[in-house]
Amino acid sequence: MENVIEKQAVDFVNIVENRLDLAAINPRNGPQFSPNLHRFLRNRGKAWANTCRVFRDADNVLWIGSLDYGWLHGARLMGVLCHGTLERVMAHVPSIGFRGDLQEITSFWADYMRIGRCALDPEHQKSFVGDETRWAVSDDGHHRSCLWCGNAHQKLETWVEQVQHERWAAL
């Protein structure tokens, strides 16, 4: 039994922190930071928040947690953003809870601390709670720029589609 305890203590000592500064991603610092993610990390505890990682699976789904012999102890990141502390952290069996090998996104926390939720959506195609603060729209209403990261600039495209409808009607 002593060997097991010693090994667990050594493994715990060797865990590398993720360099996440929880105070830096407080939503009070700006709307680019998710209130749900901040609350989720804070409620999980400092040790968990300081060691959790973000991974991508073969289906391009993002996960937050830690790996232990191939098992992911964590949750879907989008679930955390949507449900906050209600999202459950579980042990996910390899190839059942997620598809394919998980790839750690090593720059995720540095990117998130710098540009907030834009780190999750660099193409700026998703909508988030609080999206109304994300964009500055030009005076002519045809262009917008991301206020959260400053990296995205979009133009409004307008087109007309011709649609033909058919249906059966009573005589």
- Rounded CA-CA distance 130/113 in Å is 17
Predicted confidence at residue 8, as pLDDT, reads: 36
Nearest to 113 by CA among 34, 17, 48: 34
pTM of the entire predicted model: 0.79
Predicted confidence at residue 71, as pLDDT, reads: 82
- Tens of pLDDT, residues 119-153: 999 999 988 888 888 999 999 999 999 999 999 99
pLDDT, averaged across the chain: 85
Predicted confidence at residue 13, as pLDDT, reads: 45
User: Residue 27 in 3-state DSSP?
Assistant: helix
